[in-house]
Structure 1
C-alpha cells in the first residue's frame, strides 16, 4: 500500500512538473506583454551567488533554470519573470544578511511565499533575486489562554490551522489556497478570505509583525498585546504593502476559539435582488452565529461542475447563495438555520435549498465555492478581478461587463463574498489578446470608480493593477505612499514594478 501511495505521489508530481513547464513555455514574458523597462539595478555575478551560499548553504541557492520555472510564473499562468536565482533562508538573520548584500550591490529582490497571488505580485518581472520564505515555517508559540499564534512567515495556513486545532483554536482567515499560501504572504497582501464577515480583516487580528528592511535592518514589532497605544503603529505599514517596504519574517495573530458547531445552507434563487434579500434576512435571523455569506451565478456553477466534475446538490438556478453558521451549541444552531431555511423557502425568496450539518456534505458544498478560481482556469485565458462595491451594485458590474464585451469574450461570471461586498469578476477568452485586454481595461476600473468602489478588495495591486490605483486613491494619497516607499527603501530594490504606479 505504501509503495502504491508513493508511486501515486510521484506520478502526480511528474504531472505537475509537466503542466508547469507547458504553461511556462506558452506564457509570454511580463516585460514583453506589458512593455516594461528594466530598472537601473545591478546584475547577479558569481561572487553574489557565492555569498548567498555562505549565508544559507549551497543546497538552498537555486540557479538551475528548470528548477526556477514554477517560481518565475504566477498561479494563473498569465505573467512570467526571468529570475536566474532563488535564495531560501531559514531565519530572520539570514534574510537580514541577504538584503544587506542586495542593498549594497543594488540587486532587486522579489519576496515570494506560496506564490498563490492573482495579481502578479509574487513573481519577478525581470531578473530579480527571488527570496523564498518556504523554509521559514516554524510555529514559534501558541498561547491557548490569549489565543495568540506566533510563527514564521513561511507557515502554511492549513498547517498552522492543524496545530491550532490541538489547542481549540482556528486561524481568523480561510482561503481557497489555504493548502499552499503562506501566512507571511497573507499578511503582506492583507488577504480577506471567506470569513472576514465573522472575524474581520487582518489589520485587526494581526497583533505584531517582524520584518527586514531593504538595508538589512530588522523591524521588530512582534508584540502579542491586544492593546498598545504607544506611538505610530508601524506594523500596519507592513500589512498590505506586498513586500515593497520590508520582507515579513514573523507574525503574531489573534486566533478565535474553534466553533463547536458549524452548519451550511445552500440556496438557489432566481435573481440577484433575491440574493440580497436572503442576505438581509440572514443578518437579522442568524445574527451572532453567521460566519459567511457567499454567492455565485449560474455560469460559475456551470464551470465548476463541467470542468471539475463537481455536483450541484440542488436544482439549477440563476444564482446560488452559501450561508455558514458557527457557534457553541449544535442543536441551537442547527435548529436556527433550519428554521431560517424553511422561512425563506416558504416566502418564495429561495426556489430550492439544502442544509448540511455533517462534515462531508459541508466540504462538498464549500468546494463548489472554493474551487471556482481553479475551474475558471479550464475555461480559457483569465482576466480576474476583485472589487469592493456597495452590495446592491455588485452584480451590476457583471451585467455591464457582459454587455460591453458581448461577442468578444467567452464568458463573464461573478461570485464572491457577499457579506463584505467583495465581487470576484472573471472574464475568459480562448487566448490572450491585446485587443480584448484593451476592451476589458480600463472599462472595469472606470465602472468601479464611478460607483464608489475599490479596484482591489483583497488580492492587492501587485503588478497587474498598480497603474489603476488612482481609480480608488487620491493623488495626495499616492504621493504620500511614494514618500513612505522612499523612506523605507531608498534604492527601490524591494519588489520593484509592483503596487505603486509609475505615472505619479
Structure 2
C-alpha cells in the first residue's frame, strides 16, 4: 500500500491483463484496494493528495461509480478517494440561476433542491448550453486551483481524475419549464427517423429538448424482461421526443402540428403524446430502463460510441452481419440529438472468440466514419489502447506531456485514459 518515497509508484502487484479478464468474465469492474478515504472538504482532499504525492502513493478518484470502462476502479491496490461524503449544496442564486455545490452531489438531490427555486439541472439536449465552469480542483501535489477565476475548466473536464480531482462545481441552471410534452413514436426505417428528427428541429424549434432513438430489440428488453407496457404496437424503430417551454397551449399546438404533418408524410406510423406527469414518466421509463433490462439478457458487451448523425445506427447492422448467430441480441439506442449511440451485444456467456470478433472492429468501424470511441462514459481502463482510433498521435503526445506536467509522479488514476 505505501511505497518508498524515492521511487516511482510500485505497479507490480499483478498484470493489467489479469484485471481486464476479471472485468470481462465477472461482468463488472472488479478492483483491489486496502484503503478507501472519504473526505468531506476540499482541504481534506488537498492534504490527502499532498501526502500521497510525497510518498508516491497511487490514488484512484471515485465519484458516482456509474462508468462502463473501469475509470473509477483501483487496479493495483491504489488508495480509493471517494467523493461520496462531499455532497453539500453550498449556494443557489435565484436571480442568476447559478448553483454551487460539492462534486459528490447526486443529480437527483440537486434537481429536487432546484425545483424549490424554480430551476432545473441542465441535463437535456436543449439545455446543454447552460453548463457553466468547474469551480475548484485539487492538483496531484495538493495545490487547490480556482478554475472559475482562471479559465482552466476544459483542462480537467473529461480527464477522468488523471490531472486533478474536482471538489466543487458551479453550474448555471435554466428555469424549470412551465410546459412539457412527450411523444412516443413508431417508425418503419432509420431513414424515416432521420427525416423526423430534421422535421422536429424545424417545426418545434426552441422548445425541442430531447430526441431519442430506440430500436425494436432495445424496447423488447423492457417489455419482455421488465414487463413494462408500450403504448403503441411493435415497430422497427421508436423515437422519444420531448419539448420544454413556458406556454403549454403554444407548445401543445406546435407538437400536434408537427405530429400531424409527419404522419401525413408517412414518416410516423403510430404514436402517442402527453403532458401528464405520470404518463410522461412512464414513457421515459421505456428508454431509461433499457440498461436494467439488459441485465436479464445474459453477458452483455456494451459500447458507448459517437457517430455522425447519418451513420448513427450503422454499427448495429454491421455487427449483426459480422457476428451472426453467435450473438443472442444486437441492439442500439441513445441520444440521436448528439450522435451518442449505446451499442449492446448480448451473448449466453463470455468467450474470448466473440470478444476478438467485436474488438477492435467496432473501433475501426467508428474511426472510418470519423466518430469517437467514447461518447459519455470515458476511456477509463478498457479503452486506452484504442484511443488512437479517435485521437491523432500528436494529440496523444500532447496529452502525455500535460499529464507529466500536472502529475509528474504519476499518482493520479494510473493506467487510465492514456496508452502505455
Give the conservation status (yes or no) of the 8 Å contact 1:139–1:155.
Answer: yes
Which one of the candidate residues 404, 407, 430 is aligned to 2:325? 407
Relative to structure 1, the CA distance from residue 248 to residue 438 in structure 2 (aligned partners, 3 Å threshold; closer, same or farther) is same
Question: SS in structure 2 opposite 1:252?
Answer: strand
Which one of the candidate residues 227, 235, 244 is aligned to 2:162? 244
Question: SS in structure 2 opposite 1:477?
Answer: helix
Hey, what does 2:385 align to over in structure 1?
Answer: 467
In 2, the alpha carbon distance for the partners of 1:206 and 1:123 equals 28
Which one of the candidate residues 126, 131, 134 is aligned to 1:198? 126
In 2, the alpha carbon distance for the partners of 1:314 and 1:279 equals 19
* Residues 7-26 of structure 1 mapped to structure 2, 5 A cutoff: none
In 2, the alpha carbon distance for the partners of 1:314 and 1:326 equals 23
Give the conservation status (yes or no) of the 8 Å contact 2:86–2:105.
Answer: yes
Q: Runs of 5+ in structure 1 lacking a partner?
A: 1-28, 37-72, 174-194, 224-231
Question: SS in structure 1 opposite 2:313?
Answer: helix
Relative to structure 1, the CA distance from residue 482 to residue 256 in structure 2 (aligned partners, 3 Å threshold; closer, same or farther) is same
Q: Runs of 5+ in structure 2 lacking a partner?
A: 1-14
Hey, what does 1:115 align to over in structure 2?
Answer: 65
TM-score, L = length of structure 1: 0.78
In 2, the alpha carbon distance for the partners of 1:403 and 1:113 equals 38
Query: RCO (CA 8 Å, sep 6+): is it higher in 1 or 2?
Result: 2
In 2, the alpha carbon distance for the partners of 1:364 and 1:306 equals 16
Hey, what does 2:137 align to over in structure 1?
Answer: 211
CA deviation vs aligned residue, 1:438-476 (integer Å, no higher than 9, x gap): 111000000010111111111111111111110011000
Give the conservation status (yes or no) of the 8 Å contact 1:30–1:79.
Answer: no
In 1, the alpha carbon distance for the partners of 2:66 and 2:285 equals 18
Alignment of 1:102 onto 2:45:
no
Relative to structure 1, the CA distance from residue 33 to residue 437 in structure 2 (aligned partners, 3 Å threshold; closer, same or farther) is farther
Alignment of 1:34 onto 2:20:
yes
Alignment of 1:81 onto 2:31:
yes
In 1, the alpha carbon distance for the partners of 2:37 and 2:318 equals 45
In 2, the alpha carbon distance for the partners of 1:113 and 1:486 equals 24
* Residues 325-344 of structure 1 mapped to structure 2, 5 A cutoff: 325-344=243-262
Hey, what does 2:116 align to over in structure 1?
Answer: 166
Please report how far the alpha carbon of residue 111 of structure 1 lies from its aligned counterpart in structure 2 after TM superposition: 0.5
Please report how far the alpha carbon of residue 30 of structure 1 lies from its aligned counterpart in structure 2 after TM superposition: 6.7
Hey, what does 1:451 align to over in structure 2?
Answer: 369
Please report how far the alpha carbon of residue 207 of structure 1 lies from its aligned counterpart in structure 2 after TM superposition: 2.2
TM-score, L = length of structure 2: 0.93
* Residues 284-363 of structure 1 mapped to structure 2, 5 A cutoff: 284-363=202-281
Which one of the candidate residues 338, 346, 359 is aligned to 1:420? 338
CA deviation vs aligned residue, 1:421-443 (integer Å, no higher than 9, x gap): 11111111122221111111000
Question: SS in structure 2 opposite 1:94?
Answer: helix
Which one of the candidate residues 99, 118, 122 is aligned to 1:149? 99
In 2, the alpha carbon distance for the partners of 1:31 and 1:87 equals 27
| RMSD of aligned residue pairs (Cα, Å) | 1.7
In 2, the alpha carbon distance for the partners of 1:222 and 1:305 equals 46
In 2, the alpha carbon distance for the partners of 1:167 and 1:30 equals 48
In 2, the alpha carbon distance for the partners of 1:350 and 1:35 equals 44
In 2, the alpha carbon distance for the partners of 1:222 and 1:308 equals 44
Question: SS in structure 2 opposite 1:395?
Answer: coil
Please report how far the alpha carbon of residue 35 of structure 1 lies from its aligned counterpart in structure 2 after TM superposition: 7.0
Which one of the candidate residues 433, 437, 442 is aligned to 2:351? 433
What stretches of structure 1 move > 6 A for 4+ residues in a row?
none
Question: SS in structure 2 opposite 1:473?
Answer: coil
Please report how far the alpha carbon of residue 77 of structure 1 lies from its aligned counterpart in structure 2 after TM superposition: 3.9
Give the conservation status (yes or no) of the 8 Å contact 2:60–2:413.
Answer: yes
Question: SS in structure 1 opposite 2:163?
Answer: coil
In 2, the alpha carbon distance for the partners of 1:79 and 1:156 equals 21
In 2, the alpha carbon distance for the partners of 1:85 and 1:432 equals 31
Hey, what does 1:488 align to over in structure 2?
Answer: 406
Give the conservation status (yes or no) of the 8 Å contact 1:263–1:334.
Answer: yes
Query: Aligned residues, how many?
Result: 405
In 2, the alpha carbon distance for the partners of 1:491 and 1:465 equals 22
Farther-moved stretch of structure 1 (87-96 vs 373-382): 373-382
Question: SS in structure 2 opposite 1:339?
Answer: helix
